[in-house]
Amino acid sequence: MVSTSLPAQDTPREGSHRVILQGVSWQTYQALLTELGDNRSSRLAYDQGVLEITMPSDRHETNKKLLERMVEALTEELDLPIKAFGSTTLNREDLQHGAEPDSCYYIQNVDHIQGRTVDLTHDPAPDLVIEIDITSPSSRRLEIYRQLGVPEVWRYLGQTVQIHQRQAGTYNLCNYSPTFPFVSVEIINQFLQQAETQDDTTFIRAWRKWVREQLREKVSQ
């Protein structure tokens, strides 16, 4: 059994803490998931024997929540069905890959998910994953999502968001969201910058107003 000490959940921290362990078996990874349980702040990712354990910072959680609200407001304004699965564990034992995203959503494939559980042995991967990398950027999780077949990843890198689209088996950076084609990286980053000096209610109202303006322009064309 591989063991390591993690920062206490209530320990003050400025940035995310990350521990990487080599030579971890799939069985040990599964045992850790069971032992740690669901009621925790740590996030685990497994990549063919490499286990990554991340403890998010307060700033990490703040930016995650802002992006979640932006996505959910978009689906409401566009009247799109959605199922949010938060940081649910996404595992594929046959690929020896697994991860717990900061947030994930089914939108295009929402009708393929029965209930509120996900089993990637027969369910499609989430349509959209949100990842927050502030102080310790990692491409490992991105590679795991590529292997799992996640079509779109919004990745926040401290000050800006990148949108990654899976095309022909690889991720390419793109300027516009494949799921929300009128939403650009530029506008997401602009609103996130404004959020630094706004309360959340003002922020989400401004975001909804912008979305509605885009929809009105689309109808008038």
Consecutive 10-residue averages of pLDDT for the chain (221 residues): 34 60 97 89 93 84 94 98 96 96 96 91 96 76 96 93 96 97 98 95 98 91 75
Helix (H) or strand (E) holding 59: helix 58-77
Quick one: tokens of 120?
Answer: 């990637």
Residue 2: what pLDDT?
Answer: 37
Does a structural domain hold residue 15? no
Which residues pair with residue 162 across a beta bridge? 155
Predicted pLDDT at 137? 59
The domain tally of the chain equals 1
Give the C-alpha separation, 21 to 29, whole Å.
11
Q: What is the pLDDT of residue 12?
A: 33
Structural domain contains residue 48: no
Q: What is the 3-class SS of 122-150, one letter each residue?
A: CCCCCCEEEEECCCCCCCHHHHHHHHHCC
In a domain, 96, yes or no: yes
Tell me whether residue 53 is in a domain: no
Output the CA–CA distances (angstroms, integers) from residue 93 to 27, 38, 46, 79, 99, in the order listed: 10, 20, 10, 35, 12
CATH at 93: 3.90.1570
Does residue 9 sit within a domain? no
Query: Is 95 domain-assigned?
Result: yes
Q: List the domain range (segments joined by +) for residue 97.
A: 58-220
* Residue 72 counted as domain residue: yes
Task: Quote the tokens at residue 163.
Answer: 């949108």
4 within domain boundaries = no
pLDDT at 40: 81
Say what the pTM is: 0.88
